[in-house]
A and B are shown apart, each in its own frame.
Chain A
């Protein structure tokens, strides 16, 4: 089983749609969770951290379910500029260094 699993997509949605991505992780000791965004042939950029209570940043909402080891990202009112690959990232758990485990990403394509 992969340490971080994501649906690769692509998710093809019209502008204005609401889209949700899911991610599962295998290490129950993980303590930090993130969503990164990666544009084609560019570096990943932090979109948002994910907190236990859930958090929202404008049109983006992230949720964490520790019991099910599940993370989600909801994008409301999709824009063309949201087209990218979204990487689910999980801390590797207690250890001697800040090891982050990256999912392979979910591709989103927003069309007019």
Chain B
């Protein structure tokens, strides 16, 4: 089955710890994205990557870091510098083509800081 997988589904972290969220896709999409969703708010873009070994900050990149060493993978690290990390994190991918920019989402990781 083609799709996007994220792991873990739930993650608990103590304050001061870094954690890494996994995102893998087998859709052969060039572009990948990370969003966070807070209750009552729209999705906000953290980072995105158009191609391997390249990524750009989104609207709320502070306290986060990413890497894109493989086309299929785009892990997100939530660092201890992120002040309010408790949220629902969603990874998405799309073709990098102006004729279509539909994004497809993974099932998400729910992060809770204790």
- Chain A contacts to B: CB under 8 angstroms: 4, 8, 32, 34, 41-46, 49, 87, 91, 97-105
Does B48 contact A100, Cβ atoms closer than 8 Å? no
Give complex CA distance A111, B112 in Å: 32
B90 within 8 A of A: yes
Q: Give every chain B residue within 8 A of A91 (Cβ-Cβ).
A: 101
Contact: B40 with A46, CB < 8 Å?
no
Most chain B beta-carbon contacts within 10 A, residue among A34, A45, A87, A100: A100
Please tell me which one of the listed residues B42, B48, B98, B104 contacts residue A103 in the complex, with CB atoms under 8 A apart: B42
B40 → chain A, closest Cβ, in Å?
6
Majority SS of interface residues in chain B?
Answer: loop
- Partner-A contacts on B (CB < 8 A): 31, 35, 40-43, 45, 48, 50, 56, 88, 90, 94, 96, 98, 101-108, 110
Contacts of B40 in A (CB 8 A): 8, 104
Whether A46 contacts B42 by the Cβ 8 Å rule is no
Contact A98 B43 (CB under 8 A): no
Q: CA of A8 to CA of B42 in the docked complex: distance in angstroms?
A: 11
Q: Which of A41, A44, A97, A104 contacts B31 (CB 8 A)?
A: A97
Q: Is the CB of A44 within 8 A of B42?
A: no
In the bound complex, how far is the Cα of B105 from the Cα of A98, in angstroms?
15
Among candidates B45, B56, B98, B108, residue contacting A43 with C-beta atoms closer than 8 Å: B108
Tell me, in angstroms, the Cα distance from A34 to B94 when the chains sit together. Answer: 14
Chain A residues, CB < 8 A from B101: 32, 91, 98, 100
